[in-house]
Homo-oligomer: A and B are copies of this chain.
Amino acid sequence: MTKRRHNQLPKPAGRRERRRAETREKLYQTAMRLFAERGFFDTSTEAITEAADVGQGTFFNYFPTKDHVLIALSEKQIGKISNALHEAEAGDRSIRDVLHRLMHAIAEEPTRSAPLTRSLLAAFVGSDEAREFTGETMARGRNSLARIIKFGQERKEIRHDRKAMDLAMTFQRNVLGTLLLWSIRPNGNVSSWLERTFEDFWDVATSKGDSPQ
């Protein structure tokens, strides 16, 4: 309680906000590390504050529940898709390039280690709250992906005979399938897995749908 009141003391706004952002990031990074080591369900908020070396109640000043750390991760991922959408709008790079970088960017955070990937996947399917906002996040991500893909269709980089939204689903399906397979048996670095995954996605995005003979 003392800590809570201390946090609310008037301070220079800039410095105070910077401190808050730093503490939040520290709690987030510590939580992700512990999720990787012990799994999401076996990590308590007390363990997070202890490992982050902050007061026990501090956690809840930043995250209402442990699930909100996963929400923070989802927000980071959505931010990456929004950035890619801005790049697509700007038109400086090919849509292939925008989507290729995006696939690697999206996988970066959850694949810091295979145990983290597994822990996150387990949390996303194992908790009703996490699943609800994951579904929401996936849907939001899919909308932005579809907008990027539409730019690709307009610029004749991507086929027109499939809905942009279906191809956005193709993108997500490929990334998730790879994260799952890699997390089960992480032989080789995830980057080369993602290269093949992108190649597959791009084959679908540009296929004429005819057979090879």
Contact B185 A181 (CB under 8 A): no
- Stretch of A13-21, A70-78, A82-90, A200-208 lying at the B interface: A200-208
Contact A173 B156 (CB under 8 A): no
Q: Which of A143-188 contact B (CB under 8 A)?
A: 156-160, 166, 169-170, 172-178, 180-181, 183-185
- In the assembled complex, the CB of A115 is this many whole angstroms from the nearest CB of chain B, namely 10
- Measured between beta carbons, the chain B residues less than 8 angstroms from A177 are 172-178, 180
How many copies of this chain are found per oligomer?
A: 2
**Count of chain A residues with Cβ under 8 Å from any Cβ of B?**
45
- In the assembled complex, the CB of A197 is this many whole angstroms from the nearest CB of chain B, namely 7
- Measured between beta carbons, the chain B residues less than 8 angstroms from A156 are 212-213
Is A47 interfacial (CB-CB < 8 Å)?
Answer: no
- Measured between beta carbons, the chain B residues less than 8 angstroms from A105 are none
Contact B207 A125 (CB under 8 A): no
Q: Which of A6-44 contact B (CB under 8 A)?
A: 39
- Measured between beta carbons, the chain B residues less than 8 angstroms from A160 are 212
Contact A204 B206 (CB under 8 A): no
Given contacts A172-B181, A184-B125, contact A203 B207 (CB under 8 A): yes
